[in-house]
A and B are shown apart, each in its own frame.
Chain A
Amino acid sequence: MLKTMNQKISVFLILFGIGYLYLSYNLKEYPYVPVDSDLVPKALGYLLVGLAVLLFFDKSSETEEQKKKRSVPKKELMVILAVGGMIFLYIFLFEIVGFLIATALFIFFCSWFLGYNRWVSNLLVSLIFPSVLYYLFNYLLQIRLPQGILPF
């Protein structure tokens, strides 16, 4: 049934479009205007479903280059997921332990994980880079980054 990748994507988009349309039809009405806030979302929902149907029947297949781009080795996918996990952890800790500590840890471990094995320079960058940024933002640009558990 779903032979090509485009058809799989198309089905996903149609489902997404239907969900969006469902939400659009449930938007609160505002009685005093000739065109309400649901007009554009409804139009977009139908447009998306229509385009997705066109994609389903689109004959043009993927080029070799596109297929090659899409084939990511499982191992690399795991690496990307792991980095994604680290970013997640970074965001989670960002306001709790503060910018300086979280960023230093992130740069050090992320670089190390991706294969950077010069310990000394890694350590130096992870300490100096966040400190410079922190100084720049907090004191020169007056943009407060979270200070967390540190006193400055």
Chain B
Amino acid sequence: MGALDGLMQGFQVAFSLQGIMFVLIGVVTGTLIGMMPGLGPISAIAIMIPVTYGMDPSAALVMMAGVYYGAVFGGSTSSILLNAPGISGTVATAFDGYPMAQRGEAGKALAIAAISSFTGGTVSVVLLMLFAPALAQVAVSFGPPQYFALMFLGLTAISSLSEGSTIKALIAATLGFIAATIGMDAQTGTTRFTFGTPNLIEGIDFLVIALGLFAIAEVCFLIINRKDKSLSKQSDIGNLKLSKEDLKEMKGPMTRQSFLGFILGVLPGAGATIASFIGYITEKRIAKKPEEFGKGSVRGVAAPETANNAATSGAFVPLLSLGIPGSGTTAVMLGAFLVLGIQPGPLLVQDRPEVFWGIIASMYIGNVFLLILNLPLIPYIAKILKISRPMLISLVIIFSLIGVYSISFSTFDLYLLLIFGVIGYLMRLFSFPAAPFILAFILGGMMEQALRQALTASGGNLAILVSDPISISLLIVSALSFVVPLIRIRKKDATQD
């Protein structure tokens, strides 16, 4: 099936009445959840997984794509209105969006954000459509050694690129991998680290970890800041209209950042956060009036918003074509796929074209919906920020608990969720990033299988891991990914001296 036929078929799935309804539900819920301080796409997707049970997989995925987009956009809304980014991917948006809002131009900032997000998202979906099937064709020939090297690269990249100490990020990744070794071994049937309880034989469910490390851990911070009144202050958002000059200003950053953001999204480990910061910095550097940045510049909002959305779709390239997530969010997305009985990977385009193209088509539609639906609704959606914090905290806790219970029907998993909430809180307290943990947890099982299959084939000889150019180059790139933090440390030392 050609790309065009596939896309048409995808549009049929997404443009059916049912499809549109699900995109709509996804975008709105995603926006609502993404607006909550601290709750980002990971929590949004995790909370929505139980709702997709029993749904037709294509429809469910259409909804999930909507949730993902909506959550990223919701994060921008709270960045602009409150200077309280819902997620790290929208921190850079607050630099200029919040000053604009303080000038009474919140509406304008939101409109810029919506249009830039739409542009970044759409351009990047076109690129995704062109690249993912091609990459999948290459990946069909991959064997266990190549897959192992690829996943290894994903883990080292996310660790070396995460904020703060690289050692802590690596420790987080190792702990995530360790959590993945709990349960029955897939090859030999040996039960590992289950301490005799039958509840652990199937391992820990990824939803327990995702909701524990992200949603429940964030609840602790919400509790501490529950008396923060800034949330209820926001009232008037001003006019949503943009002038011709504004649009002219946005054109440059939007074009450049759509492509740059996409590339950064495809690369393992980078993702929306890094794309938005790099987008902001590059635009500031090449701007004619860099002094305007930070004081409510149009370009300063357009750049990170284009970049983070472009990266969001870019991150789907490795997920859809290789079956390997490159970020915490796509890792949870992979979990959602598996729950629906879909195994993303090189064969997805061939075996389940309706699913593959359905996702792509739903991304187009999700973007359009974000633009035409969210923009006029923003004044009303923003009201959710007025929900009193104590009530919000109780509801988030209930949502997380029900999410886990409806997947496992066991209270054991609920206690486990509580434990991972505590672990997640401690990790944040001591500045251990949680994204490498969740990515390692999801990749852990796959990586171990790939490694052992490779070693079984070679009779235990480790040389098989470096026996062909693809795996060698991937492993070299993983080693090189540690050069980045080293340079950062050097620079820091140099400036201190």
Least CB distance from A64 to B in Å reads: 12
Q: Confirm or deny: B51 has a beta carbon within 8 angstroms of a beta carbon on chain A.
A: yes
- Chain A residues 59 to 107 lying within 8 A of chain B, measured CB to CB, are 60, 62, 66, 69-70, 72, 76, 79-80, 83-84, 87-88, 90-92, 94-95, 103, 106-107
Least CB distance from A106 to B in Å reads: 7
Main secondary structure of the interface of B (DSSP, over half): helix
Chain B residue at minimum C-beta to C-beta distance from A129: B395
Least CB distance from B37 to A in Å reads: 15
- Chain B residues 160 to 185 lying within 8 A of chain A, measured CB to CB, are 164-165, 167-168, 170-171, 174-175, 177-178, 181, 185
Q: B181 near A44 (CB under 8 angstroms)? A: yes
* With contact pairs A27-B190, A141-B53 given, residues A51 and B174 touching in the complex (Cβ less than 8 Å): yes
Q: Confirm or deny: B104 has a beta carbon within 8 angstroms of a beta carbon on chain A.
A: no
User: How far is B182's CA from A21's CA once the two chains are assembled, in angstroms?
Assistant: 13
User: What is the 8 Å Cβ interface bit string for chain A, positions 42-70, against chain B (1 contact, 0 not)?
Assistant: 00110110011011001010100010011
- Chain A residues 12 to 34 lying within 8 A of chain B, measured CB to CB, are 13, 20, 23, 27-28, 30, 33-34
Q: B171 near A48 (CB under 8 angstroms)? A: yes
Q: Which residues from chain A contact B456 at a C-beta distance below 8 Å?
A: 33-35
Least CB distance from B50 to A in Å reads: 7
Q: A87 near B397 (CB under 8 angstroms)? A: yes
Q: Which residues from chain A contact B401 at a C-beta distance below 8 Å?
A: 87, 90-91, 94
Q: Which residues from chain B contact A90 at a C-beta distance below 8 Å?
A: 401
Q: A41 near B489 (CB under 8 angstroms)? A: no
Q: B168 near A110 (CB under 8 angstroms)? A: no
Q: B394 near A110 (CB under 8 angstroms)? A: yes
Size band of the B side of the interface? Answer: 35 or more
Q: Which residues from chain B contact A118 at a C-beta distance below 8 Å?
A: 388
User: How far is B405's CA from A111's CA once the two chains are assembled, in angstroms?
Assistant: 22
User: How far is B165's CA from A51's CA once the two chains are assembled, in angstroms?
Assistant: 12
Q: Confirm or deny: B389 has a beta carbon within 8 angstroms of a beta carbon on chain A.
A: yes
Q: Confirm or deny: A149 has a beta carbon within 8 angstroms of a beta carbon on chain B.
A: no
Q: A84 near B395 (CB under 8 angstroms)? A: no
User: How far is B226's CA from A27's CA once the two chains are assembled, in angstroms?
Assistant: 47
Q: B190 near A37 (CB under 8 angstroms)? A: yes
Least CB distance from B339 to A in Å reads: 13
Q: A114 near B393 (CB under 8 angstroms)? A: yes
Least CB distance from B281 to A in Å reads: 20
Q: Which residues from chain B contact A133 at a C-beta distance below 8 Å?
A: 398, 402
- Chain A residues 98 to 142 lying within 8 A of chain B, measured CB to CB, are 103, 106-107, 110-116, 118, 122, 125, 129-130, 133, 137, 141-142
Instruction: Give the A interface residue count (CB, 8 A).
Output: 65
Least CB distance from A137 to B in Å reads: 7
Q: A51 near B167 (CB under 8 angstroms)? A: yes
User: How far is B50's CA from A70's CA once the two chains are assembled, in angstroms?
Assistant: 34
User: How far is B397's CA from A84's CA once the two chains are assembled, in angstroms?
Assistant: 10
Q: Confirm or deny: B455 has a beta carbon within 8 angstroms of a beta carbon on chain A.
A: yes
User: What is the 8 Å Cβ interface bit string for chain B, positions 100-134, against chain A (1 contact, 0 not)?
Assistant: 00000000000000000000000000000000000
Q: Which residues from chain B contact A48 at a C-beta distance below 8 Å?
A: 171, 174-175, 178
User: How far is B226's CA from A23's CA once the two chains are assembled, in angstroms?
Assistant: 42
Q: B188 near A37 (CB under 8 angstroms)? A: yes
Q: A115 near B188 (CB under 8 angstroms)? A: no
Least CB distance from B42 to A in Å reads: 20
Chain A residue at minimum C-beta to C-beta distance from B189: A30
User: How far is B391's CA from A106's CA once the two chains are assembled, in angstroms?
Assistant: 11
User: How far is B451's CA from A49's CA once the two chains are assembled, in angstroms?
Assistant: 21
Q: A91 near B192 (CB under 8 angstroms)? A: no
Q: A76 near B224 (CB under 8 angstroms)? A: yes
User: What is the 8 Å Cβ interface bit string for chain B, positions 392-429, against chain A (1 contact, 0 not)?
Assistant: 01110110011001100101001100100110010011
Least CB distance from B455 to A in Å reads: 5
Q: Confirm or deny: B54 has a beta carbon within 8 angstroms of a beta carbon on chain A.
A: yes
Least CB distance from B53 to A in Å reads: 6
- Of B168, B226, B430, B455, the contact of A114 (CB 8 Å cutoff): B226
User: How far is B189's CA from A108's CA once the two chains are assembled, in angstroms?
Assistant: 46
A residues apposed to B, CB below 8 Å: 5, 9, 13, 20, 23, 27-28, 30, 33-37, 39-41, 44-45, 47-48, 51-52, 54-55, 58, 60, 62, 66, 69-70, 72, 76, 79-80, 83-84, 87-88, 90-92, 94-95, 103, 106-107, 110-116, 118, 122, 125, 129-130, 133, 137, 141-145
Additional A-B contact list (10), CB under 8 Å, known A107-B395, A141-B53, A141-B54: A28-B190, A30-B188, A45-B178, A69-B431, A76-B223, A80-B220, A80-B425, A87-B418, A110-B397, A141-B50
Between A and B, 15 residue pairs with Cβ closer than 8 Å are A28-B190, A35-B451, A35-B460, A41-B193, A44-B177, A51-B174, A58-B167, A70-B429, A76-B224, A80-B425, A106-B397, A137-B406, A143-B53, A143-B406, A145-B406
Question: Which 7 interchain pairs have the tightest Cβ spacing?
Answer: A114-B390, A116-B390, A37-B185, A30-B188, A110-B394, A91-B414, A34-B460
B residues apposed to A, CB below 8 Å: 50-51, 53-54, 164-165, 167-168, 170-171, 174-175, 177-178, 181, 185, 187-190, 192-193, 219-220, 223-224, 226-227, 388-391, 393-395, 397-398, 401-402, 405-406, 409, 411, 414-415, 418, 421-422, 425, 428-431, 448, 451-452, 455-456, 459-460, 489
